Amino acid sequence: MKTNFSTREAICSLTVLLISGPISAQQSNIDPTNQNTGYPASTNAQQSTQTVPLASLATEGKAWIIRPRISLTETYSDNVNVNRSNGGKQSDLISELAPGVRVEARTSRLNAYFDYALRGISYANESGNNQSQNSLNTFGTFEAVDKWLYLDFSGLIAQQAISAFGTQSASNATINNNTTETSTFRLSPFIKGQFAGSVDYFVRYNTSKTRSDASSVSNVDLSEWTSQIKGSTPFQRLQWAVDASRQNLDYSRGSKTEAERIRGMLTYSIVPEFRISGSLGTESNNYASRDQESRTTSGYGFDWFPTERTQVSVFKEKRFFGDGHNISISHRLPRSYIRYTDTRDVSVLPNQFGTVGLGSVYDIYYQLFSNLEPFASMTGIAKDAAVANAVSALLAQQGIAPNSQIVSGYLTSRATILRMQQLSLALTGVRNSITFAANRSESESVLATSALNDDLSKSSSVRQQGVAVTLSHRLSENAALTAVISRQESNGNSTSTSPLKSTMTSYQINASTRLGTKTSGSLSVRRLEFDNNTNPYTENALIGSISFVY
């Protein structure tokens, strides 16, 4: 969370720990280099400068790996405090010290990933705003009882926009009252097995807590049971499944809600490459009223696999809020991947915390690598960790910032009906890479109230759309040049005279190089143009960074 800079002592203590050197049960060729995000690591400076072989990254790493790192970033900005409403600019020099550590466990019982960084941010002129920020990305699975009882866990800490219509910024170091540190931690034990020789069962319990530093934003406690049984029938091509779930939600600034659902589904394979499915069930909840309201649900869809590299999946369902759907189309080539998704469903957590992979360059490449061999044939946490390392390695080689966002979300204090559309394309080569990502979303409140202090109390719906293009070229064995252009726009349909709209356009060029076997550096220039009806501004920045990996 953001804290007063008296936490400098904590940062120094962690720095001292880092200086003591790396700890590793087994030596690995994968080292972290990312300095200011919670994203996983990059390649070792001593390995080949050619594109990292995916197969080797899928199998590298031993039982335990603990890799500390530290980085120093200096930023000169001609508009460091974007909260100024009088149009005046305040230039400043920003110093960021960011010690961090990555831990990987790959044992017979535990597969886990942990990446944490503590960023101390100091301003030469605005010293009253000195602060520290946490950045965490962790996930894992523990097998408690052999092939039966498991425990999943995950945690995410990141800076989040409070309002989609408030002032937006491209850097977490910018002084902006519209951002806050938000975290979500989840524990999820589950069992799975088989009975009667042909019926598979699965039971999971989820509990999560989402917390924010902003007093105007709800904390969210989630408790959920989900289960499924499925099996075959005397008809070889016909399969059945029954899903059930029960969910309890508590918004600290909103209401407590309960939701239950049970659904049966039949799937019939017309040919191995094409199958159809249909569902029938019932659901009840009190999202929109004080009492539980029950409705019947029904749906239909198909899955089509015309080739091994192409997948099309469509499912449409009648729900309590109208029609919901889930559409996914993807096609992969040896060094490229294109994917389009379109979903409409209930969302109970902030976008970045309720769903993995919304809008960053890292997410696009994660989708790409997940569908390429050897990762496509892997499963579970081992696949997650291997893909994470491969993506980080490539982005480090190409000098691409992994956390470059397409569309930032916002925080709500209620369940919403969210429609999300995403189109992503990634092309990778030995010296060049191109990513294109477009994202469009629309959120509507389930509750017919304006009492809650969030964006949906000002507008019945919030629409966001964005696009980002990243071009990268490796200048030499140790240097890369990257250009990123992005634009995002948020709109509301308020009846007031002041329109609810914000637009942010960002241009950035980055040059990165290796300075030694364990040291790397980068130099960037950034131009930001932001517009809304209360506080438009522009910013120009020069950023230099140096990082050391143990």
pLDDT for 402 equals: 58
> Facing residues of 471 across strands?
434, 483
Question: What are the residues whose beta carbons fall under 8 Å from the beta carbon of 98, sequence distance 6 or more?
Answer: 35, 36, 70, 71, 72, 73, 117, 118, 119, 120
Average pLDDT estimate for 389-418: 66
Task: Find out whether 280 and 243 touch, Cβ atoms under 8 Å.
Answer: no
**How confident is residue 269, by pLDDT bands cut at 50, 70 and 90?**
very high
pLDDT for 14 equals: 40
Question: In residues, how long is the chain?
Answer: 550
Q: How far is CA 548 from CA 28, 98, 514, 543, in A?
A: 17, 11, 10, 17
Evaluate if residue 539 carries a pLDDT over 80: yes
By C-alpha distance, which of 46, 528, 447, 480 is closest to 249?
Answer: 447
The CATH number covering residue 229 comes to 2.40.170
Question: What are the residues whose beta carbons fall under 8 Å from the beta carbon of 457, sequence distance 6 or more?
Answer: 449, 450, 451
Q: Which amino acid is at 369?
A: F
Task: Find out whether 170 and 178 touch, Cβ atoms under 8 Å.
Answer: no
Q: What are phi and psi of 497, to 5 degrees?
A: -75, -25
Domain that holds residue 160: 3-549
Q: Which two tokens stand for residue 222?
A: 């989630």
Q: How far apart, in Å, do the first and last CA atoms of the chain sit?
A: 26
Task: Transcribe 474-523 into DSSP letters.
Answer: E-SSSEEEEEEEEEEEEEE--SSSS--EEEEEEEEEEEEEE-SSSEEEEE
Q: What are phi and psi of 196, to 5 degrees?
A: 60, 15
Q: Which amino acid is at 189?
A: P
Q: What are phi and psi of 511, to 5 degrees?
A: -115, 130
Q: What are phi and psi of 387, to 5 degrees?
A: -65, -40
Average pLDDT estimate for 47-71: 59
CA atoms within 13 A on the CB side of 516: 7
- State CA 470 to chain mean position distance: 18
Measured N-to-C along each axis, helices 361-370 and 380-398 cross at an angle, to the nearest 10 degrees, of 130
Q: Structural domain tally of the chain?
A: 1
Neighbours of 145 (CB within 10 A): 8
Of the two residues 116 and 53, the one the predictor is more confident about is: 116
Average pLDDT estimate for 66-95: 88
Report the alpha-carbon distance of residue 435 to residue 331 in Å, rounded: 15
Report the alpha-carbon distance of residue 359 to residue 439 in Å, rounded: 7
Q: Report the chain's mean pLDDT, rounded to a whole number.
A: 80
Instruction: Note every long-range contact of 368-377, with CB atoms under 8 Å and residues 24 or more positions apart, other chains counting.
Output: 368/332, 368/336, 368/337, 368/426, 368/428, 369/54, 371/330, 371/332, 371/337, 372/54, 372/332, 372/334, 372/337, 373/54, 373/55, 374/54, 374/55, 374/58, 374/59, 375/54, 375/58
Three-state SS for 370? Answer: helix
Evaluate if residue 404 carries a pLDDT over 80: no
pLDDT for 71 equals: 92
- Render pLDDT for 34-54 as a digit per residue (tens, 0 to 9): 333 322 333 222 223 233 444
Q: Which two tokens stand for residue 229?
A: 């049984």
Least confident range from 2-16, 80-94, 223-237, 420-434: namely 2-16
Evaluate if residue 336 carries a pLDDT over 60: yes
- State CA 500 to chain mean position distance: 26
Give percent above pLDDT 70 in the chain: 77
**How confident is residue 65, by pLDDT bands cut at 50, 70 and 90?**
confident
Evaluate if residue 138 carries a pLDDT over 60: yes
Q: Which two tokens stand for residue 302?
A: 């198909």
**How confident is residue 437, by pLDDT bands cut at 50, 70 and 90?**
confident
Average pLDDT estimate for 459-468: 87
